Amino acid sequence: SQQGEEDPQALSIQEGENATMNCSYKTSINNLQWYRQNSGRGLVHLILIRSNEREKHSGRLRVTLDTSKKSSSLLITASRAADTASYFCATDFQGAQKLVFGQGTRLTINP
């Protein structure tokens, strides 16, 4: 399968702690994207990192990409209760016109 796979499937931490989620994939990509989904809602785009980039920041979010290991990580610093959601990585494979989504990491921030 070309699908990205997130790890862990579920993560529960205390408010204020950092949360790290990982994504692995199998074939060459144009870019890798991270999305957030609140329960019962559509997905919201967070960050897009291109294959020639190694790190990207957006506010409290930090994404890294290691194309040699075919993996990416999403770090959320100083977590808040409002960060509770499911987080998905999606890969844009070379030659494709579509994204392939992983199964997601369910993040719970405990107040």
Partner 1 sequence: SQTIHQWPATLVQPVGSPLSLECTVEGTSNPNLYWYRQAAGRGLQLLFYSVGIGQISSEVPQNLSASRPQDRQFILSSKKLLLSDSGFYLCAWSGGNNQPQHFGDGTRLSIL
In whole angstroms, the minimum distance from the beta carbon of 107 to partner 1 comes to 13
- What type of residue sits at position 15? E
Cα 22 to chain centroid distance, Å, stands at: 7
3-class SS of residue 54:
coil
CB of 16 to partner 1, least distance (A): 27
Q: Which is nearer to partner 1, 19 or 104 (CB)?
A: 104
Q: Tell me whether residue 15 or residue 26 sits nearer to partner 1 (CB atom).
A: 26
Positions in the binding site for partner 1 (CB under 8 A): 3, 30-31, 33, 40-45, 48, 50, 88, 90, 92, 97-104, 106
Residue in 68, 69, 4, 2 with CA at minimum distance from that of residue 33: 4
Count of residues in the chain: 111
> Which residue, 10 or 78, has its beta carbon nearer to partner 1?
10
User: Which string of DSSP letters, residue by residue, matches 3-48?
Assistant: --EEE-SEEEEETTS-EEEEEE-SS-EEEEEEEEE-TTS-EEEEEE
- Shortest distance, position 18 Cβ to partner 1, whole Å: 24
Q: How far is the CB of 68 from partner 1 (least distance, A)?
A: 21
Q: Which is nearer to partner 1, 43 or 63 (CB)?
A: 43
